[in-house]
Amino acid sequence: MTETVKIISPVDGRIVAERQTAGGAEIEAAVVRSKAARKAWGEVTLKERAKIITHFLDALLGMNDEIVPELALQMGRPIRFGGEKRGLEERARYMIEHAEEFLAPVEHTDKPGFTRYLTREPLGTVLVIAPWNYPYMTANNSIVPGLMAGNSIILKHASQTLLVGERFAEAAKQAGLPEGLFQNLVLGHADTEKLIGSGAIDHINFTGSVEGGRRIEKAAAGTFASLGLELGGKDPAYVRADANLDYAVENLVDGSFFNSGQSCCGIERIYVQEAVYDTFVERFVESAKGWTLGDPLNPDTIVGPMARYNFADAVRQQTAEAIRGGATRHLNSKHPLDKEGSPYLPPEVLTNVNHQMSVMREESFGPVVGIMKVRDDAEAVELMNDSPYGLTASIWTEDLDTVAKLGPKIETGTVFANRCDYIDPALVWTGVKDTGKGGTLGEIGYQNLTQPKAYHFKKV
């Protein structure tokens, strides 16, 4: 049964777009088209695929002037940041340029008289379920390498950013991708789960909530489809006494409040060695004061509204709980739009926090960060691991050897030194614990979108 999906803008409550979800017959037809297109795509050489997918990327990048204000209206990111063009291009071009290397056959020559090698074959139809917070880059993590590897793609985008799916579809059309190879479907939760459970999908890549990941695992049970799940995060930073404090402050403020804190790998908690704690907090708070809240369509605005009012209210409740428990708030920025039921929420810095407070253990996904004092490396690592999540962790220090020694002790998918909130396309993007499983980008990203096949020939 079809239903109507509306994008309600967090900017001013207007209806940005309204779409009907796909019905059963439309979904079945999409599956048939996907399978047929995949067979034809398998006859296209990797070099030719690279040309076509590059045209696809270029078409998408060419829409950026329209995409930037469109994104602001859909999910609230200020136009001053220019959308996601730079990150999207960096990741996509890297995966296109290295496809031949990462998908090349692996030959074993240690047995005379035998020809033995491994190839990578496409999984089949890949369902990409993309989130609203970085709607282009996260979707692209599977779309471009998935197509390069020979798969067909069905995109189900978040209801808050439905227009992103249409932009991808328009770029595919402009690039001349075979009909059915890439399809954008507007789907409700029930029909998405039904499609997953049908057995017609060979791989699902989902970025979203932990509960959403559990529902997808349940829906896929028994189909033997492979899964890539990037779920919640509570990414920590640890500032050692030997850190360059000005550099650390500048980058950690950005990592905490960019995109209104709605980043999977954004900084949500900071641990600082006691020798530099007071100085760090003073400089951090002073820098954070410059991250002012406003209309995202205004070029001067640095922090826009959160994507939905209930997301902002959840952060308000978490902050209030911490304050009742004895936390100190340092900004307390009053804004005429900051009130219960509003998506507009200014950044906040909390100290005197502890791990009995949800703001230090449970995902906030908003513009609030707690800062705790620690004695040494051992206490910092213990607290960094005291979370059900594990996406990234960053250590700020001049001693990179210490970071290398601490890295294996930290329960996380990526260990950073002196940087945060960044995805390197040459490295896998992955997480541990409730953050999910699988991985995108880099060589491992291609491995997760393909099936190994062995060839074993004996000369007689």
Active site (annotated) includes residue 264: yes
Q: Which amino acid is at 358?
A: S
The residues facing 414 across adjacent strands are: 392
Amino acid identity, position 446: Y
**Strands 267-273 and 235-239: what pairing?**
parallel
Catalytic option among 70, 84, 230, 363: 230
Asked if 163 and 17 touch (Cβ cutoff 8 Å), the reply is yes
Please check whether residue 351 is in contact with residue 281, taking contact to mean a CB–CB distance below 8 angstroms: yes
Task: Determine how many CB atoms are found less than 10 A away from the CB of residue 290.
Answer: 10
Q: Which 8-state DSSP code applies to residue 357?
A: S
Name which of 123, 202, 120 is nearest 452 in CA terms: 120
* Alpha-carbon span 371 to 244, nearest angstrom: 17
Integer angstrom CA distances of residue 404 from 69, 376, 395, 418: 42, 16, 10, 13
From 106, 107, 103, 108, select the one nearest 121 (Cα to Cα): 103
Task: Specify whether the CB–CB gap between 107 and 455 falls below 8 A.
Answer: no
- Rounded to an integer, what distance in angstroms lies between the CA atom of residue 5 and that of residue 74? 13
Does the active-site annotation cover 230?
yes
Active-site entry in 70, 264, 265, 348: 264
The SS3 assignment for 264 reads: coil
Yes or no: say if 184 and 157 are a contact pair by the CB < 8 Å rule: yes
8-state DSSP, 85: H
Catalytic machinery residues: 230, 264
